[in-house]
Structure 1
Amino acid sequence: MNGDEGSGSGVGPAGPDRGDPGHPAGGALRRQRKRHRLLKGLGLAAGLAVLGAVVAFAVAYALTPIPSTAQAGAQASGSVFYYNDGKSVIARQGVNRTPVTLDAIPEHTRAAVISAENRSFYDDPGVSLRGTVRAVWATITGKQIQGGSTITQQMVRNYYSGLSQQRTVTRKLKEIMIALKVGREKSKDWILQQYLNTIYFGRGAYGVQAAAQAYYQKDVGELTVSESAFLAAAIQTPSYFDRPYGDRRPHAESRWRYVLEGMRQEGTAGAADLAAARYPSPPAPRPAQTLKGQRGYLLERAKAELKRLGYSEDQINRGGLKVTTTFDRDLMSAAIAAVREGRPIGTPTKVRTGLTAIDPATGEVLAAYGGSDYLKNQYDAAFDAKPQAGSGFKPYVLAAALGEGIGLNTTLNGSSPQYFRGTPVRNDSNVSYGGVNLITATQRSINTAYVQLGLRAGLENVVDTAEKAGIPAGQLKAHAEAPTLSLGVASVSTAQQASGFATFAAGGTHRTAHVVRQVIDQDGAVRKTNVETRRAFDEDVARNATYAMTKVVESGTATSAQLPGGRPAAGKTGTTDQARAVWFNGFTPQLAASVAMFRDDNKPITGIPGYSQVYGGQIPAKIWQSFMSEAMEGKPVERFKGPTDTVAAPPPRSSEEPEEPTSTPSSSPSPSEEPEPTPSRPTLPPEPTPSVPEGPRPTVSPGPAARDD
């Protein structure tokens, strides 16, 4: 055996050194050193990043001067609205601003604004770090986060040139740089004065003096603590505070209290003032005198459409827009004259008249009569008011039936009374017509036949057809399953009816009604209205329905609507129960128009000199005739395409047959009736198209003429 191996010296073999890679302690040390080097590297990188950011910020700060000029918005021009010639002015939506010095603004008014918008105003450098981070992050992510901008930043954005209202990181950073410089170089009082003279408060008022007049009809120096707090609260959402009534009041009052609480916390309002504070609900806004007559209605309608197109109230009020509307100046004059001449002298002022005319080829609203004077009544009788349609709804039923293959010469039961799904329906004066085709049912507006027709076509198809023609689904929903849907129990406006009848005039093509043709912004960019066009029903359906409606004008309930020179016209009268609303809706190939008379309180129309009861075939049809005669003057006489329908539909299903009455209903649940043009039943001339015969005459004993319900 080797002596070295068994020497017995007591000294064992040497173990591994700590520096040896194989030693456990050596591996831990090595990892520790690596972490140390990594941390040093990260620290260095972070330091360099911070240094780079500081340098970049310093460079950006140095290279971003305070603009030398105020932007146009600081002395903003309002928008101008033109007739469709692009030259004649309807109205100007100008900026309402009266600059005042800071001394003229009460201290409690200034304090209220600071409480609402920037409580650290007198202490911060012009920006809020926390708010800025939130605002930049919101800009990057596209989220809508309110707040973040100090009074200085808002003033900079609204006052100086070179800053847009776009939500971009570049714009936000530039705003921050300028705000910091302004905060260093300008006094806080100067900043606050500019802010209070440029910020928008709603009601078209820019600056606190204009706001005091717009909301409380007083100068800014007369504002109370409560009123000041309300105006300060309005800055955040001015369009909401414009009319802070009804369901808007809780939010408005909550924001007002928030401002007062801030004033209490900051000690800028006395305890006595705060204890006496009462919510200062402002009076309703007063229309400007320049909106007299129809101008106010036209302006409000155009503004509403601009908002639907994405323009903000602020852009409309101070964006310098040039808005060309679709309104035709000559046709507007014709509409005004037709209503004034058509309404009998002595007609009660509570009886409203609305008129709307639409070009079927474009969907442009060429004329609209919203009331005698916007300054007296801001409720638009052409667009906002929606009385029941009455028998003016029947053409949609007719179109739905034709679309389902039910022909014009299909025979319906025109006897009276009848029951449909338990609902009693009768014709005017309970006249029974026996078997009638769709032409006669339309010409004489036979209720029982039309309820039967609606059920045969399918009420869901009637609703679908009316909606595609321009009647909003929400106005039809409540009546979608009622047999009396076909009798016009749904509420509609003259604008909607003109749009619907324009669809017939356009051969079944619906073009969305609109009042704005184009907008030119202050940079000269032109935006034209993109009109939605869709097929509502087939052209054959439109032709056949139009043919039936020509008989209404030629020898039915609307002979007073006949146009001079034999110009073809088609349409439908309508009179609701107890004459709460009376209508005539009609068209030529070039123009569709709707006229309605009603009361805003939905009471029966009474008190018109010379009329014991009013019907659609009387005053509304005459107004329509007067307007259309002027509107068509000088235009070529175009004729409607004739009917294409010569095939009768199959007999109705048993479920569609009327129920036999068990008793005579005392009254019809449907709209009221309208007289034929003569006091006795006329002998109708034979139809010119043998393949589409007229239905039989009534078989009842002599009595009052049949009426349109």
Structure 2
Amino acid sequence: MRRVLAVLGALVLVTIGVVVWQRSDEPPSRYVVLQYADASELWRSGDPETPLVRQVARELATRGSLSLDKLRRDGAVVVTTIDAKAQSGAAAAIREKASGRSGLVAVDPARGAVRAYAPGEDPAVDRAGGVVKQPGPVFFPFSAAAAVQEGRALDQGDAERAVRVAQRAGVPEFADIEGTRTKLLDGPDGGLRPLDLASGYATFAAEGVHRDAHFVTHVTDVHGATLYQALDTPQPAFDRDPVRSKAIANQVNEVLRNDPACGNDLWMACREGVWPTGTRHAWFAGATPELSVAVLVGEDEAGGAVDAGLPKAVWETFLEKLRP
């Protein structure tokens, strides 16, 4: 028995020695954890980086001067604006209606918070924020607001002024597209992304008040200290005078709410992008004071034409999945 105890004691000492050596020479790994808005886990370092994770990383780098590498070294919790139910519903709507060829973004107009970011099922193509396409008819609210500013009929907005209106409403001048700084709305063939369109329509839904679309609420370190906090910076978008900006937004909203595509929701303002036969992409955008949603559907697997009704079908399915 004494011999057995001696052996066990030696094993314990060796084991303790190994543990102590590991702790002194190999510090415990730190993790970056991304959480949904309800604090449930969305992602943690070591998992594959999705387009959503890359958007969060880009925002932290540009707005908070925080890189994922630095956060990994120290450990951090990143609380995002993403709603778990909305995110799941957006991915399911794309899967069910558009075979993954669609991108969907939903933004809260009252806060600028991105509630859902669904880039499609192809991990190599981010159709929510990494693809730039001509907006076509869904660009109408921006050109209409430009026309109101100039005292013209709603269908007579100046193109250059309309671009400036779109930028004030939430469309950035440049965006990072697959690592390339790309100018949006550049000339007559210029395009934008679902992320930009959802943000722009959110400004109209918020009656002319723009808030920057964002993915992160706040970041804390492993001890709970705040490393970053998103700021609410509302700005009148269509005129320096908030009352005038609200009036312009509501004049455009009234037209959008009368679009038959919006259905029976009196608060829904929407527009769809219907192209002639042979189109390679189509849009649908709809917004209420609670949520602004933009959907893009690209070409089919063989590169053929897109059914112009698919974006609306994705949008309707997404809204159904949000219902209790």
8 Å CA contact 2:30–2:75 kept in 1: the answer is yes
Please report how far the alpha carbon of residue 503 of structure 1 lies from its aligned counterpart in structure 2 after TM superposition.
Answer: 0.4
Note closer, same or farther for the CA distance 1:478–1:370 as it changes in structure 2 (3 Å cut): closer
Deviations 1:94-151 (A, max 9, x none): 4xxxxxxxxxxxxxxxxxxxxxxxxxxxxxxxxxxxxxxxxxxxxxxxxxxxxxxxxx
Match of 1:562 in 2: 263
Three-state SS of the structure 2 residue aligned to 1:81 is strand
2:102 is aligned with 1:353 = yes
Equivalent residue letter for 2:288: T
Q: CA deviation at 1:459?
A: 3.1
In the other structure, the counterpart of 1:495 is: 195
Aligned to 1:91: 43
The one-letter code of the counterpart of 2:233 is E
Q: 2:148 aligns with which of 378, 402, 416?
A: 402
Which residue is equivalent to 2:14?
A: none
Q: Which residue of 2 aligns with 1:659?
A: none
Residues 403, 307 of structure 1: alpha-carbon distance in 2 compared, 3 angstrom cutoff: same
Structure 2 counterpart of 1:595, from 295, 301, 304: 295
Aligned to 1:504: 204
Q: State whether residues 80 and 323 of structure 1, in contact with CA within 8 Å, keep that contact through their aligned partners in structure 2.
A: yes
Instruction: Give the CA deviation at 1:574.
Output: 1.2
- 1:75-154 alignment to 2 at 5 Å? 75-86=28-39, 88-94=40-46
Are 1:614 and 2:307 matched, yes or no? Answer: yes
More strand by share: 2
Q: Are 1:315 and 2:58 an aligned pair? A: no
Q: Secondary structure at the match of 1:589?
A: coil
Contact 1:84 1:326 in 2 (8 A): yes
Give the equivalent residue in structure 1 for 2:271: 572
AA at the equivalent of 2:273: G
Change (3 A) 1:381 1:478: closer
Aligned equivalent of 2:90: 335
C-alpha change, 1:323 and 1:629, in structure 2 (3 Å) is same
Distance 1:357 1:605, change over 3 A: farther
The secondary structure found in structure 2 opposite 1:492 is coil
Deviations for 1:174-213, whole angstroms, at most 9, x for unmatched residues? Answer: xxxxxxxxxxxxxxxxxxxxxxxxxxxxxxxxxxxxxxxx
Q: Does 1:629 align with 2:314?
A: no
User: 1:528 maps to which residue?
Assistant: 229
Selected match of 2:252 from 533, 542, 545? 545
What stretches of structure 1 of length at least 5 have no aligned partner?
1-67, 95-289, 411-437, 439-449, 480-484, 607-612, 635-709
Instruction: Determine the C-alpha separation between the residues in 2 that align with 1:71 and 1:567.
Output: 65
Which string of whole-angstrom CA distances, capped at 9 and with x for unpartnered residues, describes residues 66-98 of structure 1?
Answer: xx9968993331111110012x1111114xxxx
> For 2:185 and 2:190, how far apart are their aligned partners in 1?
9
Q: CA deviation at 1:522?
A: 2.4
Contact 2:32 2:72 in 1 (8 A): yes
User: What is the CA distance between 1:600 and its match in structure 2?
Assistant: 9.9
Distance in 1, matches of 2:42 and 2:55, equals 12
Give, in angstroms, the shift of residue 297 of structure 1: 2.7
Normalised TM-score (structure 2): 0.80
Q: Is the 8 A contact 2:268 2:288 kept in 1?
A: yes
Matched AA of 1:331 = A
Within 2, Cα distance between the matches of 1:391 and 1:517? 33
Give the Cα separation in 1 of the matches to 2:145 and 2:74: 45
| Equivalent residue, structure 1, for 2:186 | 478
Instruction: Tell me: higher relative CO, structure 1 or 2? Use CA pairs within 8 A at least 6 residues apart.
Output: 2
- Structure 1: distance between partners of 2:59 and 2:307: 34
1:272-421 residue pairs with structure 2 within 5 A? Answer: 290-291=47-48, 296-308=50-62, 309-343=64-98, 352-372=101-121, 376-406=122-152, 410=153
**Cα deviations by residue, 1:219-255 (Å, 9 ceiling, x for unpaired):** xxxxxxxxxxxxxxxxxxxxxxxxxxxxxxxxxxxxx
- SS of the aligned residue for 2:258 comes to helix
Across the two proteins, how many residue pairs are aligned to each other?
A: 287
State the AA in 2 paired with 1:383. Answer: G
Paired residues of 1:509 and 1:534 also in contact (CA < 8 A): yes
1:576: Cα distance to partner? Answer: 5.0
Q: 1:316 to 1:571 in 2, by over 3 A?
A: same
The RMSD of aligned alpha carbons is 2.7
- d(CA) in 1 for partners of 2:281 and 2:113? 26
Superposed, which structure 2 residues align to 1:149-298 within 5 Å? 290-291=47-48, 296-298=50-52
* Cα distance in 2 between the residues matched to 1:393 and 1:73: 55
- Structure whose CA Rg is larger: 1
